[in-house]
Amino acid sequence: MDAAFWHDKWERGVTGFHLDHINPYLAAHWHQLKLPAQAPVLVPLCGKSLDLAYLAGEGHPVLGIELNTLAVESLFASLGAVPEPKPDGALRRYQWDEVAVLQGDLFQVMPEQAAHCTAFYDRAALIALPEAMRSRYVAKLAELMKPGAVGLLVTLDYPQESMAGPPFAVSEQEVMARLTPHFEVEPLASHDVLADNPRFVAKGVPWLKEQVYRLVRR
Ligand SMILES: C[S@@+](CC[C@H](N)C(=O)[O-])C[C@H]1O[C@@H](n2cnc3c(N)ncnc32)[C@H](O)[C@@H]1O
């Protein structure tokens, strides 16, 4: 899944991952993280997710990271804003009120660009990446988050052989194996969601789970 893959999706409007509402697991579990008010939140691979507005509405300064300019512009349009991007390291920074997005490649973000973030939120970031990139992603998240940083992770699991990703299946076993070297991992919830996802049913996926974890950077 290189940059061209994602740019093509955005240009063709093939963005089935985007929700036109706040992610229900974010709304249900964010307060369980017991974060200090106004803890800045990093949202890697943020797309044009409305979840950034939710987090900002909860009092958190938000820093999204997103490759695609159309996605970033749509995100700010949904906030009624048209910020001018400014160069920021190898990326471009868009800022409106408490919401900032670095447009560019997550793997080019330098630790100092996210150093203020003490919390993070991953929905459809880890599971957007093929297996080989998932280790790189976890290492990057660990590099950007200081010890004590707290995050919410939402994953999907299904028999990978029944469908080609993305989204990729990431089992609880994989979450534990990949993340525990860097993070304490606490499973918070697991839901059978096949019936709510006709796109997966149509592809013959026999079961589908969404899982939610609380992570703390060691
Ligand atoms: C599956 S979407 C999820 C978007 C968002 N988290 C949501 O819940 O709607 C993955 C997003 O990651 C972006 N992306 C993929 N690789 C990236 C990278 N290396 N750096 C920054 N963004 C990336 C894609 O453009 C896409 O918008």
Q: Which domain holds residue 71?
A: 1-6+41-112
212 domain residue, yes or no: yes
User: Mean pLDDT over residues 153-169, rounded?
Assistant: 97
Mutate which of 6, 70, 108 to test ligand 1's pocket (most atoms within 8 Å of Cβ)?
6
Burial-class residue 185 by CB neighbours within 10 Å (0-12, 13-18, 19+).
middle
Q: Are residues 95 and 124 in the same domain?
A: no
Read off the DSSP letter of residue 158.
-
Calculate how far, in angstroms, residue 218's C-alpha sits from the geometric centre of ligand 1.
25
Mean pLDDT of the chain: 97
Q: Is the pLDDT of residue 214 over 90?
A: yes
30 domain residue, yes or no: no
User: Mean pLDDT over residues 146-174, rounded?
Assistant: 97
d(CA 218, CA 211): 21
Q: Which of 94, 112, 130 is the last residue of a domain?
A: 112
Give percent of the chain above pLDDT 70: 100
- Give the ligand 1 atom nearest the CA of 68: 25
Quote the pLDDT of residue 161: 97
Q: What is the pTM of this model?
A: 0.98
- Give the ligand 1 atom nearest the CA of 166: 1
Q: Are residues 123 and 107 in the same domain?
A: no
Q: Which amino acid is it at 6?
A: W
The residues with which 64 forms a beta bridge, in sequence order, are 43, 101
Closest residue CA from atom 26 of ligand 1: 47
54 domain residue, yes or no: yes
Q: Are residues 48 and 89 in the same domain?
A: yes
Do the bridges between strand 86-88 and strand 91-96 make them parallel or antiparallel, or are there none, so unpaired?
antiparallel
141 domain residue, yes or no: yes
Q: Which of 112, 140, 155 is the last residue of a domain?
A: 112
Q: Are residues 108 and 1 in the same domain?
A: yes
208 domain residue, yes or no: yes
Nearest 5°: the CA angle 102, 71, 109 is 20
Q: Are residues 2 and 103 in the same domain?
A: yes
Q: Are residues 60 and 93 in the same domain?
A: yes
Closest residue CA from atom 3 of ligand 1: 124
In the chain, the number of structural domains is: 2
- Give the ligand 1 atom nearest the CA of 106: 20
pLDDT tens sequence across 8-22: 999 999 999 999 999
Q: Which residues line ligand 1 (CB under 6 A)?
A: 6, 17-18, 45-47, 49, 65-68, 71, 105-107, 123-125, 128
| pLDDT band at residue 37 using 50, 70 and 90 as cut-offs | confident
Q: What CATH number should be reported for the domain holding residue 153?
A: 3.40.50.150
| pLDDT band at residue 38 using 50, 70 and 90 as cut-offs | very high
Q: Which two tokens stand for residue 82?
A: 């048209």
Mutate which of 8, 12, 67, 144 to test ligand 1's pocket (most atoms within 8 Å of Cβ)?
67
Calculate how far, in angstroms, residue 59's C-alpha sits from the geometric centre of ligand 1.
24
- Give the ligand 1 atom nearest the CA of 107: 19
Q: Are residues 93 and 197 in the same domain?
A: no
pLDDT tens sequence across 97-113: 999 999 999 999 999 99
145 domain residue, yes or no: yes
Q: Which two tokens stand for residue 35?
A: 């974060």
- Give the ligand 1 atom nearest the CA of 65: 21
47 domain residue, yes or no: yes
User: Mean pLDDT over residues 35-56, rounded?
Assistant: 96
pLDDT tens sequence across 177-193: 999 999 999 999 999 99
Q: Which of 52, 86, 112 is the last residue of a domain?
A: 112
Calculate how far, in angstroms, residue 191's C-alpha sits from the geometric centre of ligand 1.
23
Quote the pLDDT of residue 99: 98
Closest residue CA from atom 24 of ligand 1: 6
